[in-house]
Amino acid sequence: MREVVPVSPGKTYKFRLMNGGAHYGLRINIADLNMTILAADSESVEPVVVNEVFLHTAERFDVEITIPNDWVEGDSFWIRADSTESFYQGYQNGIRSILKVVDQDSSGSENAFDLNDPIDSIKSPLERTNDHMTMNCFDRATFDGAPNGGRCLPISTLSRSQASLNRKNESNNTKEETAVAVPVHFIDSHFQPYPQVSSV
């Protein structure tokens, strides 16, 4: 069963992406949408817009995506997290979950068993356009340009945000805090063999 994340056209959503694995990094793409990086390892940064991010073991990124206005209720799109095993040797392991477009007034509750997979290929494309940006590649020489296009931004591209410093100063001057309830979705980031068929 895949995790289903309900979204509505025109709305902006914040995701906290975490790699809870122990071996491989994960290359994460959310429905081929631009992602604005807002924080790295819970430290607020000046916003940087990319197409995908690499998350190495125990790393975190907070990103925002905006759902296009022309997406239609009932549409579904892949959230892809591919392990950093070699694509060029034919490996492509990873995790998939689904962005499901719902009406703004809908609760978004959906039985994942009743939801078909998106029509796009479950596989991630190897080829990228020259303006495709990836944050935090583990091997810049491999992912920057040749052989498959796209550009890699090193983690050093990110810088601590002034807003973060301002908020810290403000929090020292006030005791009030506001709690906001938000839905949380967990998508498994460990790998399992396919279920075995039982004769029992």
Listed residue (153, 148, 138) closest to 88, CA to CA: 148
Which range, 3-7, 91-95, 130-134, 196-200, is most confident? 3-7
Kindly report the average pLDDT of the chain as a whole number. Answer: 78
Q: Please report which confidence band the pLDDT of residue 146 belongs to, taking 50, 70 and 90 as the band edges.
A: very low
192 Cβ neighbours under 8 A, 6+ residues apart: none
**The token pair that represents 91 in the structure block:** 């490996």
pLDDT: is 189 or 127 the higher one? 127
Listed residue (62, 66, 25) closest to 44, CA to CA: 62
**The token pair that represents 38 in the structure block:** 């807002």
Are the CB atoms for 124 and 18 separated by under 8 Å?
A: no
DSSP code of residue 112: G
Least confidently predicted of 8-12, 15-19, 94-98: 94-98
Token look-up 């080829």 returns 127
Q: Please report which confidence band the pLDDT of residue 17 belongs to, taking 50, 70 and 90 as the band edges.
A: very high
User: β-strand 52-55 against 60-66: which pairing, if any?
Assistant: unpaired
* Confidence (pLDDT) at 34: 95
Indicate the burial class of 34 (C-beta count within 10 angstroms; 0-12, 13-18, 19 or more).
Answer: middle
User: β-strand 94-101 against 4-7: which pairing, if any?
Assistant: parallel
Which range, 63-72, 105-114, 128-137, is most confident? 63-72
Are the CB atoms for 118 and 78 separated by under 8 Å?
A: yes
Which range, 97-106, 117-126, 175-184, is most confident? 97-106
